[in-house]
A = this chain, B = another copy of it.
Amino acid sequence: MIIVMRSDAAPEEITLVTGRLEELGATARVSEGATRTVIGVVGDLDVARHVTWDTLPGVERMISVTGPLRFVSREAQQEDTIISVGDLRIGGGTLTVIAGPCAVEDRDQLLEAGKAVKAAGAHILRGDAYKPRTSPYSFQGLGREGLELLAEARDVLGMPFVAEVIDPRDVELVSSYADIVRIGSRNMANFPLLQEVGRQQRPVQLKRGFTSTIDEWLNAAEYIYNEGNHQIILVERGIRTFETAARNTLDISAVPIAQSLSHLPVFVDPSHASGRRALVPPLTRAAVAAGADGIMVDVHPHPELALVDGRQALPPEEFAELMNDVRKLAEVIGRSLL
Chain A positions within 8 Å of B, measured between CB atoms, are: 2, 4, 7, 29, 31-36, 38, 40-46, 50-52, 54-56, 63, 65-66, 68, 70, 75, 132-139, 166-169, 186-187, 189-192, 209-211, 213-216, 219, 222-223, 226, 239-246, 249-257, 260, 273-274, 277-279, 282-283, 285-291, 303-304, 306-307, 309-311, 325, 328-329, 332-333
When the two chains form the complex, which single residue of B133, B187, B249 contacts A239, counting CB atoms closer than 8 Å?
B249
| Chain B neighbourhood of A29, CB < 8 A | 29, 31
Pair B243/A256 contact, Cβ less than 8 Å: no
A56 to B305, CA, bound (A): 10
**In this complex, which of A191, A252, A254 has the most chain B Cβ atoms within 10 angstroms of its Cβ?**
A252
A304 to B191, CA, bound (A): 27
What distance in Å separates the Cβ of A67 from its nearest Cβ neighbour in chain B? 9
| Chain B neighbourhood of A332, CB < 8 A | 325, 328-329, 332
Which residue of chain B lies nearest to A66 when distances are taken between CB atoms in the complex?
B35
| Chain B neighbourhood of A75, CB < 8 A | 7, 35
| Chain B neighbourhood of A291, CB < 8 A | 282, 285
What distance in Å separates the Cβ of A258 from its nearest Cβ neighbour in chain B? 9
What distance in Å separates the Cβ of A161 from its nearest Cβ neighbour in chain B? 22
Pair A252/B283 contact, Cβ less than 8 Å: yes
A81 to B4, CA, bound (A): 27
A-B contact pairs, 23 of them (CB 8 A): A2-B63, A7-B75, A52-B306, A52-B309, A52-B311, A55-B310, A68-B135, A68-B138, A132-B191, A133-B191, A134-B216, A136-B226, A168-B169, A186-B190, A211-B242, A241-B249, A244-B244, A245-B254, A246-B253, A253-B273, A282-B289, A286-B289, A329-B332
When the two chains form the complex, which single residue of B35, B52, B279, B289 contacts A256, counting CB atoms closer than 8 Å?
B279
| Chain B neighbourhood of A239, CB < 8 A | 241-243, 249
| Chain B neighbourhood of A256, CB < 8 A | 278-279, 282-283
Which residue of chain B lies nearest to A69 when distances are taken between CB atoms in the complex?
B135
A7 to B78, CA, bound (A): 13
Pair A303/B52 contact, Cβ less than 8 Å: yes
What distance in Å separates the Cβ of A318 from its nearest Cβ neighbour in chain B? 12
A325 to B216, CA, bound (A): 33
| Chain B neighbourhood of A186, CB < 8 A | 189-190
A329 to B251, CA, bound (A): 21
A65 to B303, CA, bound (A): 24
| Chain B neighbourhood of A245, CB < 8 A | 213-215, 253-254, 257
| Chain B neighbourhood of A209, CB < 8 A | 211
What distance in Å separates the Cβ of A76 from its nearest Cβ neighbour in chain B? 11
Pair A167/B139 contact, Cβ less than 8 Å: no
